[in-house]
Amino acid sequence: MIPTLQNNSNHHANAVVLSFGGHAEAYDIVRSLGMEGVESIVASCQPHNIAFYSRYCAGKAVLPKFEPANESSIVEQLRRVSTGLGGRPVLFYVSDPELSFVSRFRKNLQPYYRFLVPQDEALENLFNKALFSKLAREHDLPVPPTVIINDIDELRTTVSAIQFPCIVKPAYTQDWVWETEEQKATFGPYKKSLRRFTSAGELLRFCEALPHRASGFLIQPYVDGRDEAIVSFHGYFDEQSQCIGYFVGRKIRTYPRQTGGSVYVRTMDNQDLARQSIEYLQRIGFQGIVKIDYKLDQADNEFKILEINPRYNLWQLLGGYAGVNLAAIAYRHQMEERVTLNGSYREDVRLLFLKQDIRAFLTGYRKTREWTLASYVKSLMHKKYYRVWDPADPLPFVVSLVRFTRRHAIRVLNSMASRARSTTKQFALLLVNNQKTAGKQSISVSQQ
């Protein structure tokens, strides 16, 4: 049975945020839109998505679990949501699975929703890292030299030509979703699977353990440098690839360090990089929301493109606080309102995902001493906004905090119960052994 839309207010919403999973991704968009007075309907596979509790959430639709068998049901539920709103709302998507879903079912969704995503071929070129490397060569985009490997035998014959240090990436992110517990233990989560290799032996051992994928994998020179060397361009482009909003940001820390998601970020002024980014995206005819990650290569003092992401993310919330709210710009453009170019924003506006930032420091930066305790605390002294906490919209944070506390309390109690069972078992074994020993001594005495 497909659940129906539950309204939280009497206001009319013209935006729907689609979320299949994740923790705060839907709330990032809901809050960004809410800052500009736009309320949203949240359609999520998570029955208790924290975005449901936002003051900016005008209604919720709990979707079936995201899996192939339920895709047609999800399309039907989204159709019902749109019909219930009495118009064609703007559809927002929070990560790669949602973007891929919207693209694959665009013909089914377009009669009911407004959205702007790259065409199928362009999207495939961005999703598939091997195809993206070819696209970059064709359009002269500054990406690190890329070696595409189809299987391990091919790597063995070419490993002598690999430039070290290097990094291995899957052609598709989902290629490194592991099927077995052994694979999960060997490679870890996707972000932790992205590693820096310094020798052929180390590289071969890692790649030989990878499960075979028809799309293969790719190897690039590793661009060394701290996470602060990663700069990103964020923009929104119309149907003619004209940019109508942008800002530039810099990472401060990621979780995990070096290869993880952004947990502490800030805006920065780099108009040269902004102009270059707009030119690059116009070369490939891009349209919609976008983020380009760059890292400064000290070898040639050039910003190298690490990836182009055509989806919404937490950076849109940062841009909203800085003065360029790309989610609101996308909303107004797709609602056919007049929107003029906005690239004026405040510099050094900061956004912190505190829970993940603490993890990043304790598990990574502290050990490498990239951030000492003193420098870490000092970095937090700046004025900043928080990813989940908003004093004007506190309930999502409260719900998140209660769940976090409950999860960890349950883990602690389970751990204590496990230790208690282990201690009881050890005590029982000791008691049995003592009884056996006493019995043997008794027999020995009686025989004497």
- C-alpha 276/C-alpha 298 separation (Å) is 19
The Cβ of residue 164 has, within 10 Å, a number of other Cβ atoms equal to 14
How do residues 355-371 score in pLDDT, each as one tens digit? 999 999 999 999 999 99
Structure tokens at 239: 């149907």
Q: What is the pLDDT of residue 9?
A: 47
> How far apart are the C-alpha atoms of 46 and 31, rounded to whole Å?
18
Q: Give the helix, strand, coil percentages of the chain, each rounded to 5.
A: 45, 20, 35
- What is the per-residue pLDDT for 315? 97
Query: Which residues neighbour 60 within 8 Å (Cβ) at sequence distance 6 or greater?
Result: 5, 6, 8, 41, 42, 43, 44, 49, 52
**Whole-number Å distance between alpha carbons of 355 and 417:** 27
Residue 229 is classified by DSSP as: G
* pLDDT, tens digit, 9 for 90 and up, residues 393-417: 999 999 999 988 987 677 666 666 6
d(CA 430, CA 418): 18
Question: How many whole angstroms separate alpha carbon 99 and alpha carbon 310?
Answer: 8
- Going across the sheet that includes 217-221, the strands are 147-149, 217-221, 166-170, 196-197
User: Residue 211 has what DSSP assignment?
Assistant: P
d(CA 231, CA 249): 6
Assess contact for 197 and 168: CB atoms under 8 A.
Answer: yes
Q: Which residues of the chain have a pLDDT value below 50?
A: 1-4, 9-11, 445
**Rounded to an integer, what distance in angstroms lies between the CA atom of residue 194 and that of residue 146?**
15
Q: Following CA atoms 281, 287, 293, 295 in sequence, which dihedral angle do they give, to the nearest 10 degrees?
A: 0
Both structure tokens of 10? 């009497």
- Closest Cα partner for 242 from 92, 133, 102, 342? 342
Rg (C-alpha) for the chain, rounded Å, is 26
Q: Please name the residue that has the structure tokens 């009911």.
A: 112
Whole-number pLDDT of residue 409: 73
H helical segments located in 139-187: 152-158, 181-187
Euclidean distance between CA atoms 108 and 408, whole angstroms: 42
